[in-house]
Chain A
Amino acid sequence: MTEIMLITALVLFGLASAITLVRIIIGPSLPDRIIALDMIGVILVSVVAVISVLLNTKAFLEVILILAILAFISTIAFARYIERGVVIERKRNR
């Protein structure tokens, strides 16, 4: 019973990430695509959590934290690139 529920959750996560992929492809502007990529990162974190429950192992728990951290840092870097044009500034304004 639990297995059917987990597999249903995985299918729904796949559906959600397919919808997000449509937004990445047809997204009119660059920030739309970046938000969609960040959402795919969050969906991947959930998928790894569900899979680690399904396989009955705790070897994937580090992957969840690392994926969340990398999604955060890459979104920050993309946002910095859109706003300022550079990712790492040489000198601050103030």
Chain B
Amino acid sequence: MYKPNDLILRTTTSIIVFILLGFSIYLLLAGHNSPGGGFIGGLMTASAILLLYISYGSKAIEKILPINYRLLIPIGLLIALGTGIGSFFFNVPFLSQTFTYVQIPFFGKMELATAMLFDVGVYVTVLGVTLTIILSISRDQKS
């Protein structure tokens, strides 16, 4: 009975996961003017968390990230629905969107759109659905 040693995989994972999470946030924020968006950003975050699960095992990661991923699906859907309902307060049709230019310190003038909030809803929903599917399939083993 040999004892497996994953030192290279674990050291590489702890570096690569930060790059992956940063890249997924970039994809989420860049979706308005270039390729990207909520869907692919959620998939990249899910793959980063999946890489953590593969290299560290599920018991250690459940201690580090105590998130019930099933709960993320209704949260994301409620965010997406809330951006639709919010347009009723301004007396415009459902899911109307608007944008404005805001002066933010250190970043300069930026365009902030309300379609971003809908994208965040899509992101959270995709993250929850993907990780729920993967983790509930992988739980079905004997040992």
Contacts and interface: CB of A to CB of B under 8 A. Distances in A.
Interface of A: 59, 62-63, 65-66, 69-70, 72-73, 76-77, 80, 83-84, 86-94
Secondary structure type dominating chain A contacts: helix
Contact of A66 (B40, B55, B60, B135): B40
Contacts of A89: 57-59
A73 B44 contact: no
A35 to B, nearest CB: 17
Secondary structure type dominating chain B contacts: helix
Contact of B23 (A65, A72, A83): A65
Q: Sort chain B's interface into a size bin.
A: 20 to 34
A1 to B, nearest CB: 30
A91 B9 CA distance: 17
B100 interface: no
Interface in B49-96: 50-51, 53-60
Given A62-B35, A62-B36, A87-B138, A69 B47 contact: yes
Contacts of A62: 27, 34-36, 40
A52 to B, nearest CB: 11
B20 interface: yes
12 contacts: A59-B34, A62-B27, A69-B47, A70-B47, A76-B9, A88-B54, A89-B59, A91-B59, A92-B56, A92-B60, A93-B3, A94-B3
